[in-house]
Amino acid sequence: MPRAHHRPPAPARAKLLPLLCAATLAVGGLTTLAVTAQADTVTGNLLANPGLETGSLSPWSCSAGAGSVVNSGAHSGTYALKGAVGNSDTAQCTQTVTVQPSTKYSLSAWVQGNYVYLGATGAGVTDPATWTPGGSGWQQLSTSFTTGPSTTSVNIYLHGWYGQGAYLADDLVLSGPGGTPPSSPPPSSPSSSPSPSSSPTGSPSSPPPNVAVPVAPYVDMGAWPVPVLKDMAAGGNLKSFTLAFVTAVGCKASWFNAYDPKAGWAKDQIDALRAAGGDVKISFGGEAGTELAQACTDVTSLFNEYDAVVNAYNLKYIDFDIEGAAVADHAANDRRSAALAKLQAAHPGLKVSLTLPVLPEGLTSDGVSIVQSARNAGVNVDVVNVMAMDYGRPNTNYGDAAVQAAQSTHDQIKALYPARTDAQLWAMTGVTPMLGENDDHQIYNQAAAQQLVAFAKQHHLGVLGFWEESRDANACTGALFKCTNIPQTPYEFSKIFAQYTG
């Protein structure tokens, strides 16, 4: 794609662009408290305060202060955990537990509410998340996982789902070797409680409803004049955007090689968008910039740069646009994975999306390797977002190709996460086409956008995006960095995509 005209002193604009013909181308502030268990051979409940019978939350820690202990309606005993789910927070509650490497553990909890999740994350652990679509009474969730060869601790978590109301949890059990059972075990369940065999676990009849950020088009923050996010949101009936791109100047984070994100550049824009009910993802990388994982030579310095950006903007969502030569840089990709696992440990609930090359047949082999690297490092990948554009194939229907790419990617993710339900796999799948004329001069038109929105509604995709919001606003004919070059009204594509709510 042609480069945008920048305001000084930006020397270059990092921009979403796949390699032609190869298609190169989801909560901050939660502090997890460690619970150290003495290693021994006892098999028992490794969780502390598993039934909340201390009357306090500790050592459970919940996002945005959304957790509390209540003394009515418990599954057994006196107390239960209550998660106050909101429209922008799932009320994730977490406890960190010491475990042994290469060991199988069983995890269960009694829960009440709509779309309540139970799972575990940690280095070398494939998240065994299970969930219930809800019901009026208590239901037991049960799952298991095996730790990796170097796993020494895991984060046990519970959360609800956006806008689905509060949930209750009680009588959690993590069983296996590696810790001392808590001094006050949970009271036994009354005989009148429903039996585990009668409770639906792990295979809900319908997927979760609205995701937090169902539509997040990319905004080229290096464009001139400066994009006004609040105006774009109002013009296109949108709430949220993915802001592009944070790149590297040496091993230092930079907005498109020009402005320091640690100083909060454009934070006033983000604050205004949030005040209007929206939010942002900040995207690292892009076609024309160097992603920090390539510039930083060790995990600690890389983590420090990511962490500084998350803190500067109080981020709940981050995106990594990995394209061009960066896709095949396995050392950098493994560094990124290790740093992201550390970042999520520092910010439990932080949503990570990977934006990757795709063909209609699916991710490239290097793209699959990036997801696998993240999984193996213990990163909880929220969305694998594919750049459904610039295939370099003449006479290709780009509407059909985007849908095919989504289906193919879903199938590839399934091979990497075999324990996940089909609904969970679709929630991990995101699609980002390029509006109007692509760089290979093929066209993605309004009918293609409607087709993708219908497909997303059918399968409840994790996110829809597009490149790029300023082009949709300009609705012009001219240079591709600022025009779609097809007949349209301003924000026409935005209004189509806004029909998707999760």
By annotation, the residues acting in catalysis are 323
Provide the sign of the torsion angle of the four alpha carbons 385, 387, 393, 394, taken in this order.
positive
> Rounded to an integer, what is the distance from CA 356 to the centroid of its chain?
14
Q: State how far the Cα of 309 lies from the Cα of 261, in Å rounded to an integer.
A: 6
Q: What is the DSSP string of 134-187?
A: --SS-EEEEEEEE--TT--EEEEEEE--TTS--EEEEEEEEEESSSPPPSSPPP
Q: Please answer whether residues 249 and 257 qualify as being in contact, where contact means their C-beta atoms are separated by less than 8 angstroms.
A: yes
Q: Given the structure tokens 């500084």, which residue do they identify?
A: 308
DSSP three-state, residue 55: coil
226-233 LR contacts (CB < 8 Å, sep 24+): 226/7, 226/266, 227/469, 227/470, 228/269, 229/269, 229/270, 229/272, 229/273, 229/280, 230/269, 230/272, 230/273, 230/276, 232/469, 232/470, 232/473, 232/491, 232/494, 233/273, 233/276, 233/278
Q: State how far the Cα of 172 lies from the Cα of 95, in Å rounded to an integer.
A: 11
Q: What share of the chain is helix, strand, coil (3-state, %, to 5)?
A: 25, 25, 50
**In whole angstroms, how far apart are CA 354 and each of 193, 219, 246?**
42, 17, 14
Q: State how far the Cα of 256 lies from the Cα of 12, in Å rounded to an integer.
A: 7
> Rounded to an integer, what is the distance from CA 318 to the centroid of its chain?
8
Q: Please answer whether residues 81 and 116 qualify as being in contact, where contact means their C-beta atoms are separated by less than 8 angstroms.
A: no
* Token duo for residue 456: 């997303």
Q: Please answer whether residues 340 and 306 qualify as being in contact, where contact means their C-beta atoms are separated by less than 8 angstroms.
A: yes
**In whole angstroms, how far apart are CA 17 and each of 283, 354, 401?**
14, 15, 17
* Token duo for residue 305: 């740069």
Neighbours of 455 (CB within 10 A): 18
